[in-house]
Chain A
Amino acid sequence: MVRVELPAHLCRLAGVGHEVTVAVDASPVTIAAVLEVLEHDYPALEGTIREHETKQRRAWLRFFVCEEDWSHIGMDAVLPPAIVSGKQPLLVIGAIAGG
């Protein structure tokens, strides 16, 4: 099970707590694969983390993996074992903006 931490506004939208777990059957496990399952399990999140059509990350959200910024690495990069095993969460973080 992959653990995903969401920003507060998306937790409220999806009606979940700070962290959700998703069962990702795809191999290898990528951010895109995790988001695919996340959006399936929580349809309210469709279009809010990545664009509907292009599947690109929304500009004001970022992905952190094992304390590294993976926002520009690409959705299809293979996630490390610590994320795949659920030892560490995939962080979806809202950019600090708005003054």
Chain B
Amino acid sequence: MSSVRLLVGTRKGGFVLTSDGKRQDWKVEGPFFAGWEIYHMKGSPVDPDRIWASQSSGWSGQVLQRSDDGGKTWNVAGNKFLYEGEAGTHQWYDGTPHPWEFKRVWHLEPSLSCADTVYAGVEDAAMFKTTDGGTTWNELPGLRKHGTGKDWQPGAGGMCLHSIVIDPTDEQRMFIAISAAGAFRTDDGGGTWKPINKGLHSKYIPNPTAEVGHCVHHIAMHPSKPKTLFMQKHWDVMRTDDAGENWSKVSGNLPTDFGFVIDVHAHEPETIFVVPIKSDSEHFPMEGQLKVFRSKTGGNEWEPLSRGLPQKDCYVNVLRDAMSVDRMDECGIYFGTTGGQVYASPDGGENWQAIVRDLPAVLSVEVQTLP
């Protein structure tokens, strides 16, 4: 029987949760790297036992960890992330120029075809790549040096490159998202980049339809439809069907379209999930009721899913990288909260259970479906 392995990054360490295919009983291991912030952990699709973890702290900066045995043991990888050439400036919160400064790795995206190749999205926003298993990291400077870089501005969480999506039919094509710059696409493996924000409307920036400056929170794709992307923006849930050339709003009947996570069902490319959050100043569910919303129509028509989720006095947040789906026959959905709970639904969102309740604040959740 297949099994699943959840990789959970938290404010104070990483955790590995495992279960068999029923996904009812869970074994919790950790904390790994206790006391450090683990922004993201992700396994290689080529070698699932190779897992990467981004470990950081205000005291000692960035560390990269690599496991080659499914998270049982870990080894320190290279942590030298140096911008190529002159770092330059971006906009600060007050609109003044501010030097680019490396702070941390937000997201690690392993290559779909090579276990030694991984992409890293970092703060201040840039993309790095290793091709030697994490020993050395080199910037893909075409993104940061894109002509609009001086106009990028940090969101409340910093100016982070938090989403990396690789086209499974053409690994030279990748999509990334930056808060607050927007979404970008490369068609040449990261050499050159194009802003893909047409159709986004952000009322909180001077030009609501600007080429860049949008606070994109997360993007997701189903591998069978690589030209279709779904986006949770600061406000608005969006979709594109032409690889980002044009976006349209699909918030539909959502009670609020602010939020952070968005993901796509493993077997139904038009079934998507979000967790609506009340507003940008009140980062918790509406009326204290935690609900996942599902659309089976690729947006616009949404239904609440709450069976097993707290429906009273719940004021947690669900951060942008804290939702994931498995590839079991009946798709499992997982998400973690800032209150330390990790919820799982083994049946596509119909029923939920907390598989662990009292972790540190959850920053990221990734799931691996194992043979």
Contacts and interface: CB of A to CB of B under 8 A. Distances in A.
B80 A9 contact: no
B79 interface: yes
A47 B35 contact: no
Which of B35, B36, B59, B63 has the most chain A CB atoms inside 10 A of its CB? Answer: B59
A94 B82 CA distance: 24
B66 to A, nearest CB: 12
A13 B57 CA distance: 12
Which of A44, A97, A98 has the most chain B CB atoms inside 10 A of its CB? Answer: A44
A42 B353 CA distance: 43
Interface residues of A, number: 22
In this complex, the interface size class of chain B, counting residues with CB under 8 Å from chain A, is 10 to 19
Given A52-B82, A53-B82, A13 B76 contact: yes
Given A52-B82, A53-B82, A9 B59 contact: yes
Interface in B41-73: 57-63
B34 interface: yes
B62 A47 contact: yes
B164 to A, nearest CB: 23
Nearest to A49: B60
B76 A61 contact: no
B59 A94 contact: yes
B61 A43 contact: no
A9 B57 contact: yes
Chain A interface mostly: loop
A48 B82 CA distance: 15
A44 B58 contact: no
A61 B61 CA distance: 11
Interface string B115-149: 00000000000000000000000000000000000
B76 A10 contact: no
Nearest to A52: B80
Contacts of B35: 8-9, 12
A55 interface: no
B79 A46 contact: yes
Contacts of B76: 13, 43-44
B60 A97 contact: no
Given A9-B35, A9-B36, A58 B80 contact: no
Contacts of A48: 60-61, 63, 79
B79 A10 contact: no
Nearest to B75: A44
A61 B82 contact: no
Contacts of A52: 79-80, 82
Interface of B: 33-36, 57-63, 76, 79-80, 82
6 contacts: A7-B59, A12-B33, A13-B63, A47-B62, A48-B61, A58-B59
Interface of A: 7-10, 12-13, 43-44, 46-49, 51-53, 58, 60-61, 94-95, 97-98
